[in-house]
Amino acid sequence: MKYVDEFRDGEKARVLIGEIEALVSSIRLPEGRPLYLMEVCGGHTHSIFRYGLEGMLPKEIELVHGPGCPVCVLPMGRVDDCVAIAENPKVIFTTFGDAMRVPGSRKSLLQAKADGADVRMVYSPMDALELARRNPDREVVFFGLGFETTMPSTALTILQAESEGISNFSVFCNHITIVPTIKAILDSPGLQLDGFLGPGHVSMVIGTAPYEFIANYYRKPMVVAGFEPLDILQSIWMLLKQIGEGRTEVENQYARVVPDEGNNAALRAVAEVYELREFFEWRGLGSIDHSGVRLRETYAHFDAERKFAIPNVRIADPKSCQCGEVLKGALKPWQCKVFGTSCTPETPLGALMVSSEGACAAYYQYGGQKRQAEVV
Amino acid sequence: MNIVPFVKARTLGKVNVSSVTLAHGGGGKAMKDLIDDVFLAAFGEQACEPLEDQARFELVAFEAHGDRLAFTTDSFVVDPLFFPGGDIGKLAVCGTVNDLAVGGAVPMYLSCAVIIEEGVSIDLLRQVAHSMARTAAQAGVRIVTGDTKVVPRGACDKIFITTTGIGTIPASLALGVEKARAGDTVLVNGLLGDHGAAILCARGDMALDTPIESDCACLHELIGSILAAAPSTRFIRDATRGGIATVLNEIADGSGVSIEIEECMTPIREEVKAFCEVLGLDPLYLANEGKIVVVVPDDEAEAALAAMREHPLGESSARIGRVVSEQERRVTMHTIFGGRRMVDMLVGEQLPRIC
């Protein structure tokens, strides 16, 4: 595939790995531990496992898999709300595919579908709007989910529905924002992280400026990274370069997609449609201030939370689950008490086992060798 | 040899309506008309013979081909019924023929049980029956017994078909999922994931326009030539639902071995790669309907591969990996990028990723 295969070139990877090894050997490592680099985004976690990058890196570098999988961090209470809306016989509930399996306290959307709810998988919110046009006697609800990456497409769909005067379409808005989340991680006590691989697709929308505080205030280097394996290796190389030279900056490896100033049209749509929530609940991380958005009053008629009666009950994460510690890099997935025993991809207890982008599910699915080696 | 000869021809019924109603499942004249005019008309040769409740065979017909019977059944539900490269009828014949053939059996007879949703058009049913008949004729197998049921609207999705197959296994063969050994070579007969991608595209709900066609095909001839060229072949399985990743894991588990495959040797069409890239799917888990995984001892690998490539259904055959150890049961992939990853069983259905 053109423009893809170039970034999966094994020859170039070997050269880069050589350079990374050379760089690492010239860096003074933190006392008694390797360098901890966090990839914030679930898309990166997926690529890292899919291409087996962890096994290629020198042992002085350890990747910490961050919270950037929007499917994983969705709390049970919100899934319960989805199910409650979906079980309304008037409703066609539409969702991205991988949100179907996220467990609620009673059931997942997949189970709700099996029990008779009209739950349909869509690939874009515009598909949901099309369903609303074709089913004027039904209420079509789109499950708005994801970071800034998917936020604009939901916003633009709402603007489109408004301009067409479509009244049987609404959004159950669970969009979340990346910056407060990174801040929450940086503020957690005992944090040991030496640098960040920044989320490429979020940055395509918001640009690189919103991350400056990470470099300036928290003194951690960040490189906004693409998703192909060479992108990730090059970004790691750039992080090491910063660490070696004692710099803390926000750099952009993914300039072919990410303009430093972001995407203005997308940002305008986002600002037009959403406002920040005071706080939003995350699975594994708890409540984080200003980390979620909801629809502004002007667009209240498209807000499924106001249109439908939802339970809106906060369900605590299971006590045995240690997702928070794994998300912050304090524990490895396989060090969690319930990893692979009561928490598996079939019956996930915690956020990180839910989607293939979650660190635990990725280890469970792809990372068996390392896991077994470490357990023994 | 096969069906016991009958004496008296019977009169054949005719369907005079355009769609199936519950009356066609009622056991009376309407049902007889449907069976005669749609199914027997398509399946041909014995239409005028009296219908018994069972097909009858002389044992000698089987004994000529081998010393064991192979017996298998499979149900087919697919949406849409017609898709690029095939339809539910072709699928129902190929699937069961392949399930017999991968065990080394010579496929001989099929049954055909059809569950029909009321309201399905007779023309559509005829097309499906003809497709079954055509595929069976090409494969040299006969559909010798069957059943139809009609269910109320909503109780099934248009047409469900179950086919059961019987074949004979030549005395010389003993393929088994437990027979893979360290050092064996793993082969596939061509481009992977076409069927799964074609079906997902044909559903049309992701507005992707691709030229991908299902690989749906009967593989018994190809398998015959593999077994002739590589008589010590350990095991063959068709990589249907769950794709080759699932079959490889079944072998690893069944034989107690580790298998290592090379991503760069794994044949996947550019369009399928791109399709998977867009949706966040993994082609190793996409369904095939005309692809087999073959495990052969290393010294017969070349001969097997050459025989496969000579056959039209094996032109893109490739050596994708090896059985590497008898210590553990797992499948790993050496990625194009130089890394290594686990290839595990799928937990549930593959779901497209959000972003």
Phi, psi at residue A163, to the nearest 5°? -70, -30
Instruction: Answer yes or no: do A51 and B335 touch at CB < 8 A.
Output: yes
pLDDT of res. B354: 65
Contact yes or no for B352 and A150 at CB 8 A: no
Q: Does B46 fall in a domain?
A: yes
Smallest Cα distance from B189 to chain A, Å: 22
**Which of A288, A314, A308, A40 shows the shortest CA–CA distance to A176?**
A288
Longest dimension (CA), chain A: 67
**Which candidate from B264, B335, B347 shows the least CB-CB separation from A52?**
B335
Q: Which candidate, A141, A161, A97, places its Cα nearest to that of A123?
A: A97
CATH architecture entry for A76-176+292-307: 3-Layer(aba) Sandwich (3.40)
Q: Is residue A195 a contact partner of residue A242, using CB atoms and an 8 Å limit?
A: yes
In the block, residue with structure tokens 């769909």 = A157
Answer yes or no: is B352 within a domain.
no
Q: Which pair of tokens denotes residue A299? A: 């667009």
Q: Which residues of chain A have pLDDT under 50?
A: 369, 371-376
Query: Are residues B218 and B146 part of one domain?
Result: no
Alpha carbon distance B181, B184 (integer Å): 6
- Widest CA span of chain B, in angstroms? 71
- The SS3 call for residue B319 is strand
B177 in any annotated domain: no
Q: At residue A348, what is the residue type?
A: P
Which residue in chain B has the smallest CA separation from A42? B355
Contacting residues of A for B336, CB less than 8 Å apart:
8, 10, 51
Mean pLDDT of the region B24-48: 86
- Check which CATH number belongs to the domain holding B303 and give it: 3.90.650.10
Comparing CB atoms, the residue among A96, A127, A369 nearest residue B354 is A96
Give the domain-ending residue among B169, B203, B219.
Answer: B169
Task: Give the Cα separation of B228 and B230 in Å (integer).
Answer: 6
Task: Specify the pLDDT at position A167.
Answer: 97
Put simply, the answer to whether B354 touches A53 (Cβ < 8 Å) is no
Report CA dihedral (B95, B96, B101, B102) to the nearest 10 degrees.
Answer: 60
Is the model's pLDDT at B1 over the cut of 70?
no
Three-state DSSP at A30 gives coil
| B222 belongs to a structural domain | yes
Three-state secondary-structure class, residue B83? strand
Report the percent of chain B where pLDDT is more than 70: 95
Q: Hey, are the CB atoms on A1 and B273 less than 8 Å from each other?
A: yes
Determine, for residues A98 and B354 on separate chains, whether the beta-carbon distance falls below 8 Å.
yes
Give pTM, 2 decimals. 0.90
Question: E strands within B10-80?
Answer: 68-76
Give the pLDDT of residue A373.
Answer: 44
CA distances (Å), A138 to each of A86, A133, A149, A164, in order? Answer: 12, 10, 29, 17
Q: Which residues of B touch A229 (CB under 8 A)?
A: 337, 339
Q: How far is CA A140 from the centre of its chain?
A: 25
> Which tokens sit at A80?
């319960």
The whole domain housing B203 covers 185-342
Strand partners, B258: B325, B330
Q: Which of B166, B194, B203 is nearest to B290 (CA)?
A: B194
CA distances from A25 to A60, B160, B285, B309 (A): 9, 63, 40, 49
Please check whether residue B205 lies inside any domain of the structure: yes
Pick the residue from chain B with its C-alpha nearest to A56. B339
The kind and range of the H/E element at A91 are strand A91-95
Q: Are residues B232 and B323 in the same domain?
A: yes
Closest CA to B187 of B282, B265, B285, B99: B265
In the predicted structure, residue B2 carries a pLDDT above the cut 60? no
Same domain, B284 and B204: yes
* Residue B36 covered by a domain: yes
- What secondary structure, in 3-state letters, does A134-190 show? HCCCCEEEEEEEECCCCHHHHHHHHHHHHHHCCCCEEEEEEEECHHHHHHHHHHCCC
**pLDDT number for residue A363:** 82
Residues B159 and B197 both lie in one domain: no
User: Number of folded domains in chain B?
Assistant: 2
Interface predicted TM-score of the whole assembly (ipTM), two decimals = 0.85
**Nearest-by-CA chain B residue for A100:** B351
Residue of A nearest to B263 (CA): A51
The beta-carbon neighbor of B270 closest among A1, A14, A355 is: A1
| B161 and B190 housed in the same domain | no
List pLDDT tens digits, range B105-123.
999 999 999 999 999 999 9
Cross-chain residue pair B205–A346, CB shorter than 8 Å: no
Contacts of B335 in chain A (CB under 8 A): 50-52
Alpha-carbon gap: B208 to the closest alpha carbon of chain A (Å)? 11
Task: Let me know how long chain A is.
Answer: 376
The three-state secondary structure class of A300 is helix
Interface test with B, best of A4, A96, A149, A257 (most B CBs within 10 A): A96
- Give the distance from residue B27's alpha carbon to the nearest chain A alpha carbon, in angstroms: 32
What Rg do the C-alpha atoms of chain A give, in angstroms? 21
**Which tens digit of pLDDT belongs to each residue from A89-101?**
999 999 998 888 8
Residue A339 identity (one-letter amino acid) = F
Say how far residue B179 (Cα) sits from the centre of its chain. 23
Handedness of CA B302, B304, B305, B309 (dihedral sign): positive
Helix (H) or strand (E) holding B305: helix B298-310
Among the three residues B169, B197, B216, which one is the final residue of a domain in this structure? B169
Which residue ranges make up each domain of chain A?
76-176+292-307, 323-370
Residues B197 and B337 in one domain: yes
Q: Are residues B273 and B315 in the same domain?
A: yes
Among B188, B191, B194, B257, CA closest to B226? B188
Q: Give the nearest chain A residue to B268 (CA atoms).
A: A1
Task: Give the chain A residue nearest B205 (alpha carbons).
Answer: A122
A79-93, A263-277, B12-26, B197-211, range with the lowest pLDDT: B197-211
CA distance, residue A368 to nearest chain B CA (Å): 6
Search chain B and give the residue with CA nearest A146: B354
How many whole angstroms separate alpha carbon A308 and alpha carbon A313?
14
- Does some domain include residue B9? no
Q: What's A223's DSSP letter?
A: E
Among residues B169, B193, B211, the one where a domain terminates is B169
Q: Tell me, what amino acid is at A225?
A: A
Interatomic CA distance for residues A292 and A247, integer angstroms: 31
Judge: B337–A51 Cβ closer than 8 Å, yes or no.
Answer: yes
Residue B189 and residue B135: Cα distance in Å, rounded? 20
In a mutational test of the B interface, the residue from A369, A370, A376 whose CB has the highest number of chain B CBs within 10 Å is A369
Identify whether residues B113 and B214 lie together within a single domain: no
Task: Provide the shortest C-alpha distance from residue A189 to chain B (in Å).
Answer: 31
Per residue in B70-96, pLDDT (tens digit) is: 999 999 999 999 999 999 999 999 999
Residue B45: predicted pLDDT: 58
Q: Which of B208, B261, B337, B351 is the best mutation test for A, with the most CBs of A within 10 A?
A: B337
**B300 has a pLDDT exceeding 50:** yes
How many Cβ contacts (< 8 angstroms) between chains A and B? 106
Cβ distance of B340 and A55 shorter than 8 Å? yes
